[in-house]
Chains A and B, each alone.
Chain A
Amino acid sequence: MSRQEYETVMGLEVHAELSTKTKIFCSCPTKFGAEPNTQVCPICMAMPGALPVLNEKVVEYAVKAGLATNCEIERNSKNDRKNYFYPDLPKSYQISQYDKPLCKKGYIEIETSQGKKKIGITRIHIEEDAGKLNHDEFGGGSLVDLNRAGVPLIEIVSEPDLRTTEEVDAYLKKLKSILEYIEVSDCKMQEGSFRADVNVSIRKKGETKLGTRTEMKNMNSFRSIIRAINYEIERQIEVVDKGGIIEQETLRWDEVSGKTFSMRDKEDAQDYRYFPEPDLLTINLSEEYINNIKKSLPEMPESRKQRYLEEYKLSEKDAGILTSSKYLSDLFEKASEVCGNYRAVNNWIISDISRILNEKEMEASEIPFTAEHLGHLVKLIDKGTISSSIGKKVVEELFENQKEPEEIIKEKGWIQISDEGAIKEIVQKIIESNPQSVMDYKAGKDRALGFLVGQAMKETKGKANPQMLNKMFAEELKK
């Protein structure tokens, strides 16, 4: 049977590292990229006798995430132990939440080519991250680094409401943008602070019962998530078409081969033996506590978008792109404030900056320059100090070198030539060396003017003031 005859049902489990200063149960720092085993203590290394103490910010951030995704907040929550052995899990149990997650029954709204759709959030709970296994290139072993062990996570579990990869993509982007807006996670996929596991099952169209699902892990970009899903759908259809049965299992996505592999030994039936964590106390949240967090929530993407449509009269598409990321949206607002020309700022972000991000496979959060830099650049163009084609070069340069645009153009000698005498000299030179074009122009071919201006720009390496060039050519050619 072909793919069209099947429907895909997907649910996502997203793990987002919370951007607290310290770990969830100890006071070790959470900074990414430290030397191995330098951000550790007896607690996160699971030394005998060490005890956890819950970081208050973790609860606050999780509740924020719950409120921002329309969840109910559990008034009497608690922590539970999930027991299993793995070298990156030093206690051999993960402190997580089982039957009383902090948040449940929420939803977020996504928009795809098919229109708007609500995706249900089953639950959001807090838990600790595991350490990292590095591979020893020479000795042939694995090396355990526990810097990441105990970094706080929220796990956001969606309902199996997703049907297409487009929906998955939209859901993930929306979720990421919400978490960025409320500033509870920096959501850097490359650093692993935003990770998604995907549950995939297929069923014949029209069928209401869910098929057996597999869970895929280890995808580290949006692109690999989509690739993995497509691979897994094909694999499942092939199995079913051949009369086989889908086994419920956990699969590891391998980016290099583009395939999924079964993760655990078949003989190892998992039984996590969850039970309430006796070293921690119940979490009782008051109405007042929850209301205070509610009040502290910032403006969310939808309302910002609405504001951009009304206040700035931006197009639906542009407003959508800008507000898809808090970083872009903040960049837009701050740079506009600096230069007072929001239309130009919008254009720079939507066209050049987005293009470069795409080429470099960077996320908006990784834009290295500041809103001041961008604002000042727009000002330089508006004042006529540089042309917009030089502006493009400055933007490219800003990605490499975070200096004031004014400094960049000085260093590179990119200041625009606006001196009337100098422009006239160039125009006369170009006219002399292009008699054919001059004749064409005089014969009524307007396009020839464009060619001449282009030649002049080339001659000045783009530094000549284009309006002045146009004007001067027109005057000179009339003679």
Chain B
Amino acid sequence: MEITELTVHELQEKIKNKELTIKEINEAYIKRIKEKEPDVQAFITELTEQGLEQAQKIQNKIDNGEKLGELAGIPIGIKDMICTKGIKTTAASKMLENFVAPYDATVMEKINAEEMINLGKLNMDEFAMGGSTEYSYFKKTRNPWDLSRVPGGSSGGSAAAVAANMVPWALGTDTGGSIRQPASFCGIVGLKPTYGLVSRYGVIAFASSLDQVGVFTKDVQDCAMLLNVIAGHDEKDTTSVDIGKKDYTKSLQKNIEGLKIGVPKEFYGDGINPEVKESLNNAILQYKEMGAQVEEFSLDIAQYALATYYIIACAEASSNLGRYDGIRYTYRSKEAKSLKEIYKKSRSEAFGAEVKRRIILGTYVLSSGYYDAYYKRAQQVRTLVMNQFNEAFEKYDIIITPTSPTVAFKIGEKSSNPMEMYLSDICTVSINIAGLPGISIPCGVDKEGMPIGMQLVSKRFGEETIIKAAYAYEQKTKFREKYKPTFKK
């Protein structure tokens, strides 16, 4: 097997057995990036040279007999939404095209403390607004399973890079499905943790009350390992919660006898592609065979949640993106002569159409006369959504839904119709509205060989339950052994 096909826990095994060195591993990944990047276009900033230097340093330490952490020298890719000190951090926007972050996000400090090697900043929809990575200012990332299709979004670069074996794992952010949906489109594992489990400090804000950092991995075991690294209370983020340190790898158990699974029938309605539905039904049968208790129930909030999501996310975004004003660190229009022009021209020239669309919607719903009808109402609906989930989790350990109504669509297919793009978030956004943890794992492919994702959701801080349920399914079904990206042109 190629080095780059291995999971991180497999790499660790080989490092321990002296079958592989840190240098060899990094060289293999860098070679793979050089090979596949022209097709996949996942990177905004490649850090291969620095990566190689770093790998050499770590190798020297190991050769000198220094005792390093278990993840020292393991490569990683970082969504370009996360601030990396001394390295360009662009949010895939012209606005921040040349922005060098003056500090590290808390999650980056944790990655650095493990001495992992950041091989690059990954592509995404501009300011994480989108579901296809087509709204990046820099490039369109392609789906490794079919290069004519999108990798999903907004963390499309992260998902594609992991699926294409250009990095063994990656960090992303998820505001309404931006980790789970691309993971589903690219046939890998994507976890959005509970709101508050991972610090948002240094993560460029899209919608503060919904944003959460999460992980893309090849399998569930890696997912638990990387979650161990990034989870934890941070006093720089007041919304981060102190629940003590947990070891999520302890949840990697195959026995799920008695696990109570709820299947919300509204998430399997007309809008869901029949092949996706079928694949999900098979997965549910699989769970039954494994000893889970499955029950269908009604969770009639999906439509409300989607509307609420767009109101709240855009309202917060319209305010969060005010700081990009052409004064301190962003793009400034060359034509601007007055202050007013600095604002208006810089923002109009440097924000893409989707970002402007959301700023306009967000400004509208907060503006005088509409606040109560939209924004305040949406916040009440948020309470409703949370209550309904709370009720559901009194009965069930996890809820299973499709991650996305469809498999990855063609590049250009939806980018001209914003409403259609928004509707494809229907399965994921309510999880952010309620602040719950959700994982997407592959559960099959469609007729054309495109991967289908299944979303497992648990109550707040129920990461252990979803990791366990995901792991048991993965070990039983062995998706990775059966299907691989083909880079079809």
Contact = CB atoms under 8 A, between A and B. Distances in A.
Contact of B102 (A47, A51, A54): A47
Contact of B316 (A46, A47, A51, A278): A278
Contact of A273 (B207, B235, B366): B366
A280 B208 CA distance: 10
B contact residues, range: 35 or more
Interface string B27-69: 0000000000000000000000000000000000000000000
A53 interface: yes
Given A47-B102, A48-B91, A48-B323, A83 B366 contact: yes
A51 B328 contact: no
Interface stretch (A86-94, A168-176, A463-471): A86-94
A45 B323 CA distance: 9
B322 A93 contact: yes
A274 to B, nearest CB: 8
Given A48-B83, A48-B91, A49-B203, A93 B238 contact: no
A50 interface: yes
B96 interface: yes
Interface in A38-97: 42, 45-54, 81, 83, 85, 87, 90-93
Contacts of B328: 45-46, 90, 144
Interface in A16-53: 42, 45-53
B202 interface: yes
B343 interface: yes
A144 B315 CA distance: 28
A281 interface: yes
Contacts of A278: 207-209, 239, 316
B319 A81 contact: yes
Contact of A51 (B96, B209, B237): B237
Contact of A92 (B83, B323, B339): B323
Interface string B100-118: 0111010000000000000
B101 A48 contact: yes
Contacts of A81: 319
A28 to B, nearest CB: 14
Contacts of A50: 201-202
A109 to B, nearest CB: 37
A312 interface: no
B319 A49 contact: no
Given A47-B329, A50-B201, A90-B328, A275 B105 contact: no
Given A51-B200, A87-B339, A46 B323 contact: yes
B322 A92 contact: yes
A47 B103 contact: yes
Contact of B201 (A51, A85, A273): A51
B205 interface: yes
A49 B105 contact: yes
B375 interface: yes
B319 A54 contact: no
B327 A144 contact: yes
B440 interface: no
Contacts of B368: 271, 273
A278 B327 CA distance: 25
Contact of B325 (A48, A49, A85): A85
A54 B238 CA distance: 9
B363 interface: yes
Nearest to B347: A85
B204 interface: yes
Interface in A260-317: 271, 273, 275, 278-281
Contacts of A53: 235-236, 238
A281 B367 CA distance: 23
Contacts of B323: 46, 48, 90-92
Nearest to B93: A48
B99 interface: yes
B89 interface: yes
Interface in B327-346: 327-329, 339, 343
B94 to A, nearest CB: 14
A54 B235 CA distance: 11
A273 B319 contact: yes
A271 B83 contact: no
Interface string B174-216: 0000000000000000000000000011111101110000000
A42 B238 contact: no
A87 B205 contact: no
B380 to A, nearest CB: 13
B319 A48 contact: no
A38 to B, nearest CB: 14
Most buried by A among B237, B319, B343, B368: B319
A92 B327 CA distance: 11
Contact of A275 (B200, B319, B322): B319
A406 to B, nearest CB: 52
Contacts of A93: 319, 322
A403 B5 CA distance: 79
Nearest to A88: B327
A280 B240 CA distance: 11
A42 B102 contact: yes
A224 B202 CA distance: 44
Most buried by B among A48, A52, A90, A93: A48
A85 B343 contact: yes
Contacts of B343: 85
A432 B72 CA distance: 103
Contacts of B205: 48-49, 279
B204 to A, nearest CB: 4
B99 to A, nearest CB: 7
Nearest to A280: B238
A324 to B, nearest CB: 41
A95 to B, nearest CB: 11
Nearest to A269: B368
Contacts of B204: 48-49
Contact of B103 (A42, A54, A92, A281): A42
A49 B202 contact: yes
Contacts of B209: 278
Nearest to A37: B328
B105 A279 contact: no
Interface in A383-433: none
A275 B339 contact: no
B443 to A, nearest CB: 34
A98 to B, nearest CB: 11
A385 to B, nearest CB: 59
Contacts of A90: 323, 327-328
B153 to A, nearest CB: 19
Contacts of A52: 238
A87 B236 contact: no
A83 B362 CA distance: 12
A157 to B, nearest CB: 20
A271 B203 CA distance: 28
A273 B102 contact: no
Contacts of B322: 83, 85, 91-93
A144 B329 CA distance: 13
Most buried by B among A51, A83, A85: A51
B120 to A, nearest CB: 18
Interface string B358-381: 000001001110010001000000
A49 B83 contact: yes
Given A48-B101, A83-B318, 4 more contacts: A90-B328, A91-B323, A273-B363, A278-B208
10 contacts: A48-B205, A49-B105, A49-B201, A49-B204, A51-B237, A92-B322, A273-B318, A273-B371, A278-B208, A278-B209
Top-10 shortest CB links A-B: A92-B322, A273-B366, A278-B209, A278-B208, A49-B202, A46-B323, A48-B204, A49-B83, A49-B204, A279-B208
Interface of A: 42, 45-54, 81, 83, 85, 87, 90-93, 144, 271, 273, 275, 278-281
Interface of B: 82-83, 89, 91, 96, 99, 101-103, 105, 200-205, 207-209, 235-239, 315-316, 318-319, 322-323, 325, 327-329, 339, 343, 363, 366-368, 371, 375
